[in-house]
Amino acid sequence: MAKPVRKAVLPVAGLGTRVLPGTKTTPKELLNVVDRPILSYIVEEGRAAGIEHFVFVTGRGKGAIEDYFDHHVELEAQLEAKGKLDLLADVRRDLPRPGEMSFVRQMSPLGLGHAVWCARDIIGDEPFAVMLPDMLMMAGTAALAQCVEAHNRTGSNIIAVEPAPEGETNKYGIVALDGRDGRLNRMTGMVEKPPLGTEPSNLFISGRYILQPEIFELLARQGKGAGGEIQLTDAMAELMKVQPFHALEYDGTTYDCGDKIGLLRANVAYALARPELSEAARAVIQALL
């Protein structure tokens, strides 16, 4: 039986260059989608998948993330004194149980593979999840829970994938499959940001992974790949020589909050999905068209 997936790594050291200047002083992972920071949705998704411990790989200028996941004593006292108890509950909703979160620092921006490797001592010798916080995934059953279920069923490494928009396969990690039958398929390869025309499929790695701890030994030795960075995809391709990998086309919709239009699209979609906001959101959007 597959070992349970209890821990998740959240790489949050990126500079957010595609949404500057807002991200000069606010970590991009704390930008609001409607009224909650992106990380609030990600942690909620992780908890729905049974994650008990979140490891944030942070960097310089990201201290606000730790503050977000801590008490704000004055604010909470104010809300309580004024009887704004709904708001108080909402502010406290994302707080961790004591010890549920760890923060490690990636001291140089050497790539996603290096960021994940920075979490190795906290993860230890057990399978774990990686959640890329740029990618918000709206789904009936949490996207990561679908990955965990696929891992429990196969005992394999799992990578969430989905079809890339036409002409954009060179922006992502792309997987190769051993045939396509349903949503969960055995993989035969993967490549990070292949030049257009060389991609092995149209399925891109969309930001949720379940990995075995052996990945860390490979990451320790991994050289630079695409973009001169230590790529998680390259270490996974190595691991695939000795362990099975499955690609899961999860059931849901991904919103890439890492760029301007993606963030706007997420705001619109999440507002429309909120029962108490949906009607007003629809009215203002229509009025603008």
When asked if residue 207 is in the footprint of ligand G1P (CB under 6 A), the reply is yes
Compute the least distance from the CB of residue 71 to ligand G1P, in Å.
32
Q: Which of 46, 127, 173, 262 is close enough to bind ligand G1P by CB under 6 A?
A: 173
161: its two tokens: 């994938």
When asked if residue 16 is in the footprint of ligand G1P (CB under 6 A), the reply is no
137: its two tokens: 């995934």
> Tokens 């990955």 belong to which residue?
147
Nearest residue (CB) to ligand G1P, 112 versus 215: 112
Q: Which of 29, 45, 192, 234 is close enough to bind ligand G1P by CB under 6 A?
A: 192
Q: How far apart are the first and last CA of the chain?
A: 53
When asked if residue 205 is in the footprint of ligand G1P (CB under 6 A), the reply is yes
Residue spans of beta strands (DSSP E) within the chain = 7-11, 32-33, 36-37, 53-58, 101-105, 128-131, 135-138, 157-163, 173-177, 184-192, 203-211, 245-249, 253-256
When asked if residue 132 is in the footprint of ligand G1P (CB under 6 A), the reply is yes
Taking CB under 6 A as the rule, which mask of x and - marks residues 55-94 in contact with ligand G1P?
Answer: ----------------------------------------
When asked if residue 245 is in the footprint of ligand G1P (CB under 6 A), the reply is no
> Tokens 């709904």 belong to which residue?
86
| Sole window of 22-30, 198-206, 211-219, 259-267 interacting with ligand G1P (rule: CB under 6 A) | 198-206
Compute the least distance from the CB of residue 121 to ligand G1P, in Å.
23
| Sole window of 45-53, 180-188, 204-212, 238-246 interacting with ligand G1P (rule: CB under 6 A) | 204-212
Compute the least distance from the CB of residue 130 to ligand G1P, in Å.
10
Residues 6+ apart with CB under 8 A from 269: 138, 253, 255
Nearest residue (CB) to ligand G1P, 86 versus 166: 166
Residues 6+ apart with CB under 8 A from 262: 255, 256
Compute the least distance from the CB of residue 19 to ligand G1P, in Å.
13
DSSP single-letter state for residue 166: T
Query: In angstroms, rounded to a whole number, what is the distance separating the alpha carbons of residues 165 and 203?
Result: 9
CB 193 within 8 A of CB 176: no
Residue 280 DSSP SS3: helix
Q: How many residues at the interface with ligand G1P, by CB under 6 A?
A: 14
Nearest residue (CB) to ligand G1P, 135 versus 148: 135
Q: Which of 54, 117, 128, 204 is close enough to bind ligand G1P by CB under 6 A?
A: 204
CB 5 within 8 A of CB 213: no
Nearest Cα residue to 36 out of 233, 221, 277, 216: 277
Which residues would be at the binding site for ligand G1P (CB under 6 A)?
112, 132, 134-135, 172-173, 192, 204-207, 231-233
